[in-house]
Amino acid sequence: MSTKKSVISKDAIVREGALILGSSIIGSRAFIDTGTVVGYPIRSRIKMLQEGKKGEIESEGATIGDNSVIRSNSIIYERVKIGKNVETGHRILIREDTEIGDNSIIGTDTVIDGRVKIGEFARIETGVYIPPYTIIGKNVFLGPRVVFTNDKYPVSKRLLGAIVEDNVAIGANATIIAGVRIGKGAVIASGAVVTKDVEPNTVVAGVPARKLMSKDEYNRKREKYESEA
């Protein structure tokens, strides 16, 4: 089902039970699975409906790029821009004012909680949480259950997102504390708690995370491990 203002490419595939709201744009050969909502209205619009106010209360819609795949029971809020060749798992939530670059993968049960920027070729595994104001660069890997935070002193009035530069890899169950910057090419070990900035091409591990080795040493260890297969 779609609203009159939606623009759906003729060769897009929108499965029965999907809901396309507002001025959403569905690109060529995009696939929208059953139970998915594209262009879900922001909180202020819902409040306007509850209060019986008149005016422009229809969703501004979301944009889904060419060849992208949005799997079942996912919710994409209005003012979300998803690039080309993006693929999601099931039951993802992407809140308003989020941008996701081309050729990215968003795993099942991931929550991107709005006002987030994600670069091209990102690979985000199952169950990742990304709060508002987080910035993630290109070719970044986030392992299962990685959690970002944006409040150093909960519950405060100042929210500050983390910045992840290009080519970073973050292992499963790592926690990234509000406001840190992870430099280009860095590696964060599984289970690490990152409380301070991480230098480029550095491997960190532990609670709190500390430098473990250089990226060159890490690459040598990885190559040896792979050769033993």
Q: Exposed e or buried b for every residue in 138-174, given b needs 16+ CB within 10 A? A: bbbbbbbbbbbbbeeeeeeeeebbbbbbbbbbbbbbb
Residue with tokens 């080519």: 167
Residues of the chain with pLDDT under 50: none
pLDDT of residue 162: 98
Instruction: Decide if 213 contacts 204 (C-beta within 8 A).
Output: no
Provide the residue type at 189 as one letter: A
- What is the DSSP-derived secondary structure letter of residue 46? H
The DSSP H or E segment spanning 130 is strand 129-130
Backbone angles phi, psi at 218, to 5 degrees: -60, -45
- Burial label for 52, CB within 10 Å (0-12, 13-18, 19+), is exposed
Tokens encoding 73: 């029971």
Helices and strands (DSSP H and E) totals, the chain: 2, 29
Instruction: Decide if 180 contacts 174 (C-beta within 8 A).
Output: no
Instruction: Decide if 72 contacts 34 (C-beta within 8 A).
Output: yes
pLDDT of residue 119: 98
**Of the candidates 191, 203, 211, the residue with the CA atom closest to the CA atom of residue 144:** 191
Q: What does pTM read for this prediction?
A: 0.94
81: Cβ contacts below 8 Å, ≥ 6 apart:
62, 63, 98, 99, 100
pLDDT of residue 49: 81
Tokens encoding 149: 């935070």
Residue with tokens 């301070």: 196
Q: Can you tell me the distance from the alpha carbon of 37 to that of 123, in angstroms, rounded to the nearest whole number? A: 22
**Domains plus CATH for the chain?**
1-88 (2.160.10.10), 98-229 (2.160.10.10)
